[in-house]
Structure 1
Amino acid sequence: MNLFEKTGKMALGSRLRLLTAKVTEDASKIYDLYQVKFSPKWFPVFFILAEDGEKTITQIAEDIGHSQPSVTKIVKEMTTAGLVKNQLTSKDKRRNVVGLTEKGATVAEEMIKGQCADIDVAIDGIMAEAKHNLWEAIAEWEFLLDQKSMFKRVQDQKKLRESKDVQIVDYEPKYQSAFKSLNEEWISTYFEMEEADYKALDHPKEYILDKGGKIWVALYQNEPVGVCALIKMDDPNFDFEMAKMAVSPNVQGKSIGWLLGQAVVEHAKKAGASKIYLESNTILKPAINLYYKLGFQKIAGHATPYKRCNIQMELDLNQQ
C-alpha cells in the first residue's frame, strides 16, 4: 500500500517534497538534455534578470519570495558559472546591482527558443491527461494560505477539539480557593493585588452572589482551570460588570476565555440586561482581543476602584 494512503492528508508536506524532488531531478536531466550547465534552483533569479534586467539583491529577493541570504548565495554560484555579474553599478550610480553576462544573456535566449517552449508543451500534455489542473490548484492554495496559514488553521482546529473537553459549570463553595488562586496568579504577575480584589475573591458569596451576580468555573479534565464573574451593578448605565476572568496559563489556547465570556453574555441576555461593563488594562492584549471578539467596545469616564484599570469597555446587548 502506498505510504500516503496510510498517512492521509497529514503528510501533505512530505508528499509535496517528494513531488518537488521528482520534478527537480527531471529538471536537472532536462538541462543536461539541452547541454546547459545550470542548477534548477537558479531559475527564479535567472528568469527575473532575463525579464527585467539589472536588479539589486533586495529587489530580486522581493520578486521571487526568497530571503536575501538565499539570493546572495545563488548569485555567487551563478557568478562562478559565468552567468551573472555581481556588484555592478546601477545607471544612476547609486546602487550595486546584479545583471546577466553576455554568456547569461545567450543562455537565456537559447532556453526561451528551445527548452522553455518544449517544457510548456510537455506540461500542457500532462494537464490534458490529468483530471485536475495542478497549476491552477497551486495558485488557489497559495492564495488561501496567504489568507490563513496552515499553522493557524491547525491551531484553530486544536483549540476547537480541546475546547470540547472543557465544561462551564456554576460556582460552588468548593471552587472558592480556585476562584481566588487563579485570579491572584494573573494579577500578581502583571500588577499588585488591591483592596477591591480581596473583597471579591475572599467573599464571593457576599460580594457577588448574594447581590444578584453569578460566577462560572471552567473545568478541564475535572479540574478548575478558569473562572469568571458577572457582578450586579448599582448604576443606571449598566446592569452587570464582567469581572474576575482568569484562566490558568497551563491550559491557555483551548478557548476557555471565549467559553466563559459566552456563558456570561448569554446569562445577561436571559436576565434581560441591556449593557455589560468591564475594566481591564491594555497590557493584557489577549484579553482585550477577546473582549472585542465578544462585542465589547471601548468607552471612558466611568469611576473605578482599581489603579491598574486604563481601559473601560461596554457590551450593548440591544445590538447583539
Structure 2
Amino acid sequence: MSFYESLGFLVFGSRLRRLSEAFLADVNKIYASHELQFDAAWFPVFYILSRQETVSIRDISDELGISHSAVSQLVSSLQQKGLIKTATADDDARKKVVAFTAKGKKLQQQVQPVWEALQQAMGTLVQEGKHSKTILTAISEIEQGLQNESVFNRVQNILHHK
C-alpha cells in the first residue's frame, strides 16, 4: 500500500491534485504533439463557445461555478492571444459577451478531434478498474455534499462536539 493510500482521506486533496496535474500535463502533451497551440486550462471557455455563438462572462461564470473575476482573467488572456473577442451585449450595455475570432474558431475545430479522442480514451480507462466506472458519479456526490456543507464546517462541528 502506498503512502497516499495508507492515509485515506487525510491526503484526499493531495491525491486529487496529483491526479489532476498528471492528467492535465498529459492533455497538454497531446496538444503539443499535434502542434496545437492550446492549453487545457482554456477548455471550459472553448467548449462553452463551441456550443453557443456568443455567451456572457456572467453565464460562463455561472456554468463553470467559478468567480466572474477568474473568467474575466481567462477571457482577457484569450483575447490577448487573438482567440476570442468581447463586445457589449445587445440587450444590456452592462453585460459583456464573448465570441470566437476566426483564429479561435479555427483552433477550436482543430482541437475538437482531440476532445473526442480524449473522451474515448477516458471511457476505456475507467472500464479497466473495478470501481473506476463510478468515479464521475462519486465526484458529483462529493461536490453536492460540499455544497451542502463545507469540509471546514464539518471539521469544526466535530471539534466543537468533543
The structural deviation recorded for 1:93 is: 6.5
The structural deviation recorded for 1:125 is: 0.6
Q: Which residue of 1 aligns with 2:24?
A: 24
CA contact (8 A) 2:36 2:110 kept: no
The structural deviation recorded for 1:2 is: 2.5
The number of aligned residues is 159
CA contact (8 A) 1:31 1:38 kept: yes
The structure, 1 or 2, with the larger RCO (C-alpha pairs under 8 Å, 6+ apart) is: 2
Deviation track 1:222-276 (CA, whole Å, cap 9, x = no partner) reads xxxxxxxxxxxxxxxxxxxxxxxxxxxxxxxxxxxxxxxxxxxxxxxxxxxxxxx
Q: Which residue of 2 aligns with 1:124?
A: 123
Aligned equivalents of 2:8 and 2:140: distance in 1? 22
Aligned equivalents of 1:93 and 1:153: distance in 2? 41
CA contact (8 A) 1:55 1:98 kept: yes
Q: Which residue of 2 aligns with 1:83?
A: 83
CA contact (8 A) 2:83 2:103 kept: yes
CA contact (8 A) 1:90 1:96 kept: yes
Aligned equivalents of 1:5 and 1:144: distance in 2? 22
CA contact (8 A) 1:56 1:97 kept: yes
Aligned equivalents of 2:52 and 2:150: distance in 1? 31
The alignment yields a C-alpha RMSD, in angstroms, of 1.8
Task: State the percentage of identical aligned residues.
Answer: 32
SS state of the match for residue 119, structure 1? helix
**Where do 5+ consecutive residues of structure 2 fail to align?**
none
**Where do 5+ consecutive residues of structure 1 fail to align?**
163-320
Q: Which residue of 2 aligns with 1:3?
A: 3
SS state of the match for residue 98, structure 1? strand
Deviation track 1:89-144 (CA, whole Å, cap 9, x = no partner) reads 333463432111112112222322x1111111100111110112212211121122
User: Comparing both structures, which one devotes a greater share of its residues to helix?
Assistant: 2
User: Comparing both structures, which one devotes a greater share of its residues to strand?
Assistant: 1
Question: CA separation of 1:14/1:159 partners in 2, compared to 1, >3 Å: closer, same or farther?
Answer: same
Opposite residue 57 of structure 1, the aligned amino acid is I
CA contact (8 A) 1:34 1:115 kept: no
Aligned equivalents of 2:89 and 2:50: distance in 1? 16
